[in-house]
Structure formats: C-alpha cells, structure tokens
Amino acid sequence: MSYLSNLGLLSVKGPDAKSFLQGQVTCNLNEVSPTQSRLGAHCNLQGRMLSIFRIYQANEALDNPQYILSMPASMVPLALHNFKKYALFSKVSIDDVSATLTVMGENGATLQDKALKELQINECIHKKLAQGNQIICRIPGVQPRFEVIATLPIAAQIEGQSSHEWELQDIQAGIPTIYPETASLILPHHANLSLLGGISYDKGCYLGQEIIARMQYRGNIKKQMVAAFLPEGNPAPTPGTPVFAHETTGMVVRAAPMQSGYALLVILDSTAANLENVHLFSLDGPLLTALQV
C-alpha cells in the first residue's frame, strides 16, 4: 500500500449537500451511495470542465450527508473556490480534507487485507476500525487496485509513494482528469466522460447542462480522447501540451512515464483517432503511436 500525495480530497457535507451537488455536477447523485462511486465533472456555464473527480458518499445520514470528491491535489484549491462560489445560499460546508491511500496488486495485502480480497467488483465498502474510518473502492485498471480513503492517523502509518504508477494505470484505463493547466478548456464528451458513465442526461439541470445535452442529442461530437505512446528521448509531455494531426490541433490530458517512454491521454479530432501522422509539441514534433496495454 502506498500513500498517494498527488491526490487530494474535498468534503461536501450538510443538509443541502446532495441537492447542491446535484445542481452543480454532471453525474447523478442518486447513483452515488455508500457502496457505489461515480466519476463526474464540475463545469462552467459554457459546458467546459473546471474539474473531474471520483465522488463517494461518506455516510448514510439522509438529513446530513457527506460526500468526498477525489481529484489531483493540485486541483483542490481551484475546485474549492469554484464550488464555494455557488454555495452561498445552501446549507453546506466544503473543505479540503483527509488523505488518500491506494492499494495496487492482486492480493491487496496490508491494511484490511480480507476486505480487499473479497471486493471483486467496482464498488465501495465502509469499515470502522480502531484506527479510524475508511472507504475502500475498487478502481478500474489493468491490474486490481483499490483507492482507500482514510483518516490522517492511518495515512501516517503508510510509507512510500507510487504516484506515477497510479497515473499510468489511470491512463491505461482511459480515465481522464483535469489539471490547473487544462481547467475550463475541455468539454466532457471530448474526454469520453459520457462513455465512462460520468454524465447524466435525465437528472435535471446543472451547470453547463444545456450545452452538454445538445452535444449528446445532436451528435455534434467532433473530438475524442485516445491513449498514445511517446518514445523515450523526447521532452516529458505535460497536461495542455499541444498535439498536431494534419491541420487540426488537440492537447494532452494527462501523461505518465512508463518503460521506454511515456503514456498519454490526448484529445484529437475524431478523424485522427487512429493516431496516424500525429505529432506532439509541433507539426514536425515527435510522432505518437497507439498505447499498447
């Protein structure tokens, strides 16, 4: 088990927590429970994503629910600011909280070994231990892995980091995220969020909903996200790095080092999704190829 310092958490709690979030984010809060998480996004009025997160319900209290949003640590201050702008008239408190632990590997050895071994599907479980409360959720990936949300006393017992490995597994699983460099630049459909169950089309209004729904029902989706590989010997790509395909441009969503190079998620024009003649940095920059998982 490794403590992931690159992940951060927001807590949204209070009597209006569910209704507040339901009117803010792309996913349906009715589908989030103590045993089920969801990907979701917080968008601006133009439908572009301010943040992407995995949301958990942290308790079962109907009158005072609490939700935990997991996202890159660098995004927490920005997400906190963006949510609080709309929370002035709601009975909610929004805070930067806790620590995130992760378990990767087939056996899920160490903390809560038995619970991790028994968790075979993408669901969450809650455990009350002597050390504190935990949420354990299986996350999609090329190998079994779990996100464990725990209190700081538990986190302090964990040594080591594997942030790059976690990032790589997210990329291999096709899971997007937003960083400060790409906030307000990407539409949810272009990051495949609809394909990942992160957009609800029947829950009612939320920020950016009109534009997002119009794209879905008019079929006006001209870009998509694909996994790519950059050979070693090139500068390290970062979120927002431009990608060129013929006369169209795209961008890097996220990147992580891997054997012999870098794994990337990139947004491209759909006509270039086969990654033929796609260059990074400039029109004559290094060629990208399809990522082999």
Phi, psi of 137 (to 5 degrees): -135, 130
Q: Domains of the chain (ranges plus CATH)?
A: 2-172 (3.30.70.1400), 222-293 (2.40.30.110)
pLDDT at 52 over 90: yes
- To the question of pTM greater than 0.85 for the whole model, the response is yes
Burial of 162 (0-12, 13-18, 19+ CB in 10 A): middle
With cut-offs at 50, 70 and 90, classify the pLDDT of residue 127.
very low
With cut-offs at 50, 70 and 90, classify the pLDDT of residue 106.
very low
State whether residue 66 is helix, strand or coil.
strand
pLDDT digits (tens, 9 = 90+) for 236-288: 999 999 999 987 899 999 999 999 999 999 999 999 999 999 999 999 999 99
The whole-angstrom separation of Cα 143 and Cα 146 is 10
pLDDT at 132 over 60: no
- Pairing type for strands 2-3 and 99-104 reads antiparallel
pLDDT digits (tens, 9 = 90+) for 142-184: 877 778 787 655 544 554 446 788 899 999 999 999 999 999 9
Give pLDDT, residue 73: 92
State whether residue 278 is helix, strand or coil.
strand
pLDDT at 59 over 70: yes
